[in-house]
Amino acid sequence: MYSANLFIDGQSIANSSSDRFEVLNPATEEPLGDVPAAGAAEVEASLAAAERGLVVWRDVRPWDRAALLRRIAVLIRERGETIALLLTLEVGKPLAEARAEVNVAAEYFDWCADESRRPLGLLADGRMAGSRYSVTHEPVGVVLALTAWNFPISLASRKLAMALAAGCSVILRPAEEAPACVAELVRCCHDAGLPNGAVNLLFGTPEAIIEPLMAAPTVRKVSFTGSTRVGQILIRQSAQTVKRLTMELGGHAPFIVLEDADIDKAAAAALTGRLRNAGQVCTSPSRFFVHEARLQAFVDRMAEGARATRLGDGRQDGVQMGPLATARQRDRAERLVADARDKGAQIAYGGGRPAQLNRGFFFEPTIITRLSADAAVLTEEPFSPLAAIVPVSGPDEAIARANSLEFGLAAYVFGRSDKSTDYVAARLEAGVIGVNNIAVAVPEMPFGGVKQSGFGREGGPESIKEYLNIKFVHKLSA
């Protein structure tokens, strides 16, 4: 039976002081069930619990923290099929993609288990006799973790693992579209032996949860993954209490195909990246700048691949792309395609709802060419399986087009010449760049954007520093 409860101070809470909300299966448009929404009482209780949990958890020795984080990773893997199925039911992605996401979530806990032991202090003699300098690291405090619906497990795991590795307590608020899979993740954290209050889980509206917690002085750090628009709101809200922030915001990733690129490999990678999770990926390539001499071959390969892609319910064997997560996402795809058509674009494949699927928020893989410069799909993040392909005369034009937006999360370049690909990569304004590949988010490397795609990094050796304060003490002998 489908269910998801709030989790506060080590207790699962099935009823709340606020209304419940319904969760839909995007592949069938049928209700999965309803979930309690947190109200003022639950928000206040979670904050008090997180404050108490911080006092306990911050004093747990790093080696003991590491062992517990590894235990969480073990439980995630043991319960992986349950979590993956809930993820597919709530978001719609194929089970193979859901399983891969669950595995990545476990990898974040494994990686951060090691990182919890690595922030080393400094001890040095001072300038005068009898003086000693010391530098230590301390957890920043209570963390508010806000995650998006497109990767509810991996995004939550990134934030939880890094905050917990640093000794912080967490209040986690996932998107309302995917509560149950995240509730299972939090249960893994609790069952592994975390102290009560170290991780708390709230579902509900931004007004009920985020606004009061952003105003709370004891929430010292906010980690957010979501749209640039919402990120800007949070940045403004954080100013009153001067909170530390990590912001992973929107993207509209350029994919540059140089004249000497292997077109088959470039198109295969482009299609995989574009259709993963039905294009609902912040790093997904969405603006394709292809050398004019290779344009038609690239378009043909993309259209062939899109035509061969099997759509359907993610629980079915052989399905390669599921539905969009919400009707709102499908509406956006339809609006962007209509705008492109109205401005003279050509649809090489797709462009609408698949005729063979009369239920669910499905949209065809869509290849768009001959775009007008003012087509909305070139400036607005599509977050759907739309590929906008534009011819360019060479690398400099491609770089200029790629950098023309205020997005700067991910970018990609394909070509055979190291000199050419290095030239392009060095000039792209993005936080993560794939050269002849699209794997740009792994636990052991830093992930994050520039410009209006945000700031701060998740993953890699730098990640735990986002959750630590640095303290300098100068001691002089009495």
- For 71, residues 6+ apart whose C-beta sits below 8 A from its C-beta are 192, 193
- Active site (annotated) includes residue 282: yes
Angle at 224 between CA 366 and CA 445, to 5 degrees: 80
Distance CA 326, CA 178 (A): 11
Tell me the two tokens of residue 460: 């890699």
Sign of CA dihedral 229, 362, 390, 336: negative
Tell me the two tokens of residue 467: 């959750």
Tell me the two tokens of residue 312: 């359907």
Q: Which of 115, 248, 381, 466 is catalytic?
A: 248
- For 52, residues 6+ apart whose C-beta sits below 8 A from its C-beta are 9, 196, 197
> Torsions phi, psi of 157, nearest 5?
-65, -40
Distance CA 258, CA 293 (A): 9
Distance CA 446, CA 459 (A): 5
Q: Which of 101, 112, 282, 458 is catalytic?
A: 282
- Active site (annotated) includes residue 107: no
Distance CA 380, CA 378 (A): 6
Supply the residues annotated as catalytic. Answer: 248, 282
